[in-house]
């Protein structure tokens, strides 16, 4: 079976040189083409790991990955309505509190997450004081990751039964995803604040924001989030740390229906003002949109694609498609970034939140080239924003069919993070994120870039041992 070799004899030889550079030079010297691969050994050096990596190059894995990519590309998130967490989120009840990141119990939770739990219990009227709340948290509450309940939460990501949530449906696969509505910036529950005004705001959201928006969306018959996100990305958002365009597009989309709802003018105005004053309102839509897409791609046997990344302020966790229920965790890293005046990295909480589901789905930090303005927020220059996206193409298997980056000639965002490529190149996914103060109740103190620890990927790889 040597037809291919015979064909080679008729072609111009063009070489990829991996290793000793002078071999490539000699080929160029005689006028033929050779390019050098910028090769270095895989990040994992143990022979066992190399064997597993080697064994992960086969038809089953390639086919499985193809399937996962197809599912992601065909993902079609649509905002279909709003509901109350306890009524719509699977496995939710009055003693369950959902949190961001991989599983964690009360004792190990970081400051902001504890603060958010306290605030939530007060909001739910299960506790009247922080001390009562702590008692209840220790004794009566079942904690569970949002991710285990088809939900995602930014920062502390706390969801309790009476909170209103967005309901997103992945049209082509019929699965649903949920997230709370974004409270705003500064001293808010998700940053661990639990003062009176936080609780008041949460109450207002339940009493006015929720019903107004619920009826608005009913009148609209739903909103295609995929189209909205695609447009936002072409307008300078990356939909994780920069959501201004997405928020604006949402506002535009709902305005004419919102004014038709049965509520008072002043209430409608308060709702519109609330959305207008919060540049990150759209984040709580882009997150469950990405969750719904990635969720449909979970559990494909043999696939090496990362379907979840999330942090709880203590640990960073990832999941791969092949092992639907297994988290691979490692201590959460510190975020490298810019701090608001008066704060420094000694004040920072460790990396926290489910919002990295955006990077997992191919936007957020992966779409940074579409959002050069972000560098004002996370540091660096506009060229860096382009380069971050470019580097991510090395660890992903596809270019996103739906989300395209104008400045890269409308190239689709790097999508479908392949565990094998992360290990081989040592390139870790780049994440844009906010930085919380490590103490509960203070709020956001900066923003920056963070990478998942390599250890998560190492653990995931070793799990493929046949």
Partner 1 sequence: MNQKVLIKKNLYYDSVSLMQLSEKIKSLPQVSEAVIVMGTDSNKNLLREILFFQVEIEQATSNDLVIAIKADNEAALESAIQLIEKNLMHKDTSEKSMNEVALLTQNSAYRANPEINLVLISTPGQYAALEAKKALIANKHVMIFSDNVSIEDEIELKQMADSKGLLLMGPDCGTAMINGVPLGFVNSLPKGPIGVIAASGTGSQEVSSLIAKLGSGITQLIGTGGRDLSEKVGGTMMMMALEALNNDNETKVIVLISKPPSEVVAQKLISACSKIKKPVVICFLGSAQDKIKQENLYFVQYLEEAAIKAVELISGRKITIQIDDFEELVESETSKMDKRQKYIRGLYTGGTLCDEALILLNKEFGNIFSNIALDVKYKLKNSFTSTADTLVDLGDDEFTRGRAHPMIDPQLRYHRLINEADDEEVGIVLMDFVLGYGSNSDPAGSILEAIKIAKEKFARRNQYLSIICTICGTETDPQGFSQQKNKLEQAGVICMPSNLQAVKLAAAIKRRLPQ
Cα–Cα distance for residue pair 193/211, rounded to 1 Å:
25
Task: Tell me how far, at minimum, the Cβ of 24 lies from partner 1, in Å.
Answer: 8
Binding of residue 266 to partner 1 (CB under 8 A): no
Task: Name residues whose C-beta falls within 8 Å of residue 180's C-beta, 6 or more positions apart in sequence.
Answer: 85, 153, 159, 163, 164, 165, 166, 284
Q: What is the token pair recorded at 205?
A: 């959201």
CB 43, CB 454: distance < 8 Å: yes
Give the binding-site size for partner 1 (rule: CB under 8 A). Answer: 58
Stretch that binds partner 1, among 4-12, 116-124, 134-142, 254-262 (CB under 8 A): 4-12
Task: Tell me how far, at minimum, the Cβ of 38 lies from partner 1, in Å.
Answer: 5
7 vs 325, which CB is nearer to partner 1?
7
Q: Provide the β-strand partners of residue 411.
A: 405
Cα–Cα distance for residue pair 38/32, rounded to 1 Å:
19
Binding of residue 412 to partner 1 (CB under 8 A): no
Stretch that binds partner 1, among 68-76, 121-129, 358-366, 388-396 (CB under 8 A): 388-396
Binding of residue 32 to partner 1 (CB under 8 A): yes
In 95-243, alpha helices (H): 111-123, 130-139, 196-204, 210-220, 225-233
Binding of residue 390 to partner 1 (CB under 8 A): yes
Binding of residue 21 to partner 1 (CB under 8 A): yes
- Residues of span 157-176 touching partner 1 by CB under 8 A: none
Binding of residue 462 to partner 1 (CB under 8 A): no
Q: Provide the β-strand partners of residue 311.
A: 316, 353
- Residues of span 193-212 touching partner 1 by CB under 8 A: none
CA distances from 52 to 49, 298, 397 (A): 5, 21, 19
Binding of residue 466 to partner 1 (CB under 8 A): no
Query: Under DSSP, is residue 155 helix (H, G, I), strand (E, B) or coil?
Result: coil
Among 132, 218, 347, 384, binds partner 1 (CB under 8 A): 384
Which DSSP string corresponds to 258-294?
Answer: HTTSSS-HHHHHHHHHHHHT-TTTTHHHHHHHHHHHH
Among 126, 242, 311, 421, binds partner 1 (CB under 8 A): 421
Task: Give the per-residue contact string, 54-83, with partner 1 (x = CB under 8 A; - = no).
Answer: x--x----x---------------------
Binding of residue 265 to partner 1 (CB under 8 A): no
Kindly report the CA angle at 399 between 458 and 226, in degrees rounded to 5?
105
373 vs 386, which CB is nearer to partner 1?
386
Task: Tell me how far, at minimum, the Cβ of 40 lies from partner 1, in Å.
Answer: 3
24 vs 153, which CB is nearer to partner 1?
24
Q: What is the token pair recorded at 304?
A: 């090496």
Binding of residue 465 to partner 1 (CB under 8 A): no
Binding of residue 379 to partner 1 (CB under 8 A): no
26 vs 269, which CB is nearer to partner 1?
26
Kindly report the CA angle at 325 between 320 and 328, in degrees rounded to 5?
55
Binding of residue 391 to partner 1 (CB under 8 A): yes
Binding of residue 15 to partner 1 (CB under 8 A): yes
Burial class (CB in 10 A: 0-12, 13-18, 19+), 341: exposed
Going by their DSSP bridges, the two strands 352-353 and 336-339 should be labelled as unpaired
CB 451, CB 430: distance < 8 Å: yes
Task: Tell me how far, at minimum, the Cβ of 54 lies from partner 1, in Å.
Answer: 5
Task: Tell me how far, at minimum, the Cβ of 230 lies from partner 1, in Å.
Answer: 23
Query: Under DSSP, is residue 194 helix (H, G, I), strand (E, B) or coil?
Result: coil
Binding of residue 219 to partner 1 (CB under 8 A): no
Query: Under DSSP, is residue 333 helix (H, G, I), strand (E, B) or coil?
Result: coil
Among left, alpha and beta (phi > 0; psi -120 to 50; other), residue 26 is alpha
Binding of residue 5 to partner 1 (CB under 8 A): yes
Binding of residue 394 to partner 1 (CB under 8 A): yes
Cα–Cα distance for residue pair 445/441, rounded to 1 Å:
11
Among 230, 382, 407, 427, binds partner 1 (CB under 8 A): 427
Question: Where does this chain bind partner 1 (CB under 8 A)?
Answer: 1-6, 8-9, 11-24, 26-27, 29-30, 32-43, 45, 47, 50, 53-54, 57, 62, 380, 384, 387-388, 390-391, 393-394, 421, 424-427
């Amino acid at each position: 079976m040597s037809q291919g070799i015979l064909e080679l004899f008729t072609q111009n030889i063009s070489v990829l040189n991996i290793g000793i550079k002078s071999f490539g030079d000699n080929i160029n010297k005689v006028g033929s083409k050779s390019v050098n691969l910028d090769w270095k050994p895989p990040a994992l050096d143990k022979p066992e790991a190399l064997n597993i990596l080697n064994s992960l190059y086969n038809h089953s894995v390639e086919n499985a990955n193809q399937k996962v990519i197809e599912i992601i590309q065909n993902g079609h998130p649509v905002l279909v309505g709003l509901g109350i967490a306890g009524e719509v989120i699977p496995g939710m009840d009055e003693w369950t509190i959902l949190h961001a990141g991989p599983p964690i119990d009360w004792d190990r939770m970081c400051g902001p997450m504890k603060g958010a739990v306290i605030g939530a219990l007060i909001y739910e009227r299960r506790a009247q004081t922080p001390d009562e709340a702590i008692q209840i948290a220790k004794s009566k509450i079942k904690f569970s990751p949002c991710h285990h309940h088809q939900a995602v939460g930014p920062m502390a990501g706390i969801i309790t039964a009476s909170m209103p949530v967005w309901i997103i449906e992945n049209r082509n696969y019929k699965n649903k995803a949920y997230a709370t509505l974004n409270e705003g910036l500064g001293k808010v529950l998700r940053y661990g604040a639990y003062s009176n005004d936080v609780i008041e705001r949460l109450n207002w959201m339940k009493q006015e924001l929720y019903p107004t928006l619920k009826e608005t969306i009913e009148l609209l018959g739903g909103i295609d989030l995929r189209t909205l996100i695609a447009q936002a990305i072409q307008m300078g958002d990356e939909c994780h740390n920069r959501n201004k365009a997405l928020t604006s597009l949402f506002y535009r989309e709902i305005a004419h229906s919102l004014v038709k709802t049965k509520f008072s003018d002043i209430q409608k105005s308060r709702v519109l003002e609330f959305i207008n004053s919060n540049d990150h309102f759209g984040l709580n839509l882009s997150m469950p949109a990405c969750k719904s897409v990635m969720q449909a791609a979970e559990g494909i046997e043999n696939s090496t694609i990362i379907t979840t990344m999330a942090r709880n302020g203590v640990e960073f966790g990832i999941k791969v498609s092949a092992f639907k229920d297994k988290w691979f965790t490692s201590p959460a890293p510190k975020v490298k970034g810019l701090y608001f005046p008066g704060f420094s990295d000694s004040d920072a909480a460790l990396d926290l939140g489910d919002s990295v589901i955006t990077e997992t789905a191919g936007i957020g930090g992966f779409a940074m080239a579409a959002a050069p303005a972000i560098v004002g927020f996370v540091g660096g220059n506009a060229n860096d924003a382009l380069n971050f996206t470019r580097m991510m193409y090395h660890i992903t298997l596809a270019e996103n069919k739906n989300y395209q980056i104008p400045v890269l000639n409308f190239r689709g965002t790097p999508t479908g993070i392949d565990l094998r490529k992360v290990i081989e190149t040592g390139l870790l996914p780049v994440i844009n994120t906010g930085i919380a103060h490590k103490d509960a109740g203070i709020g956001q103190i900066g923003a920056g870039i963070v990478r998942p620890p390599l250890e998560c990927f190492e653990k995931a790889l070793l799990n493929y041992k046949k």
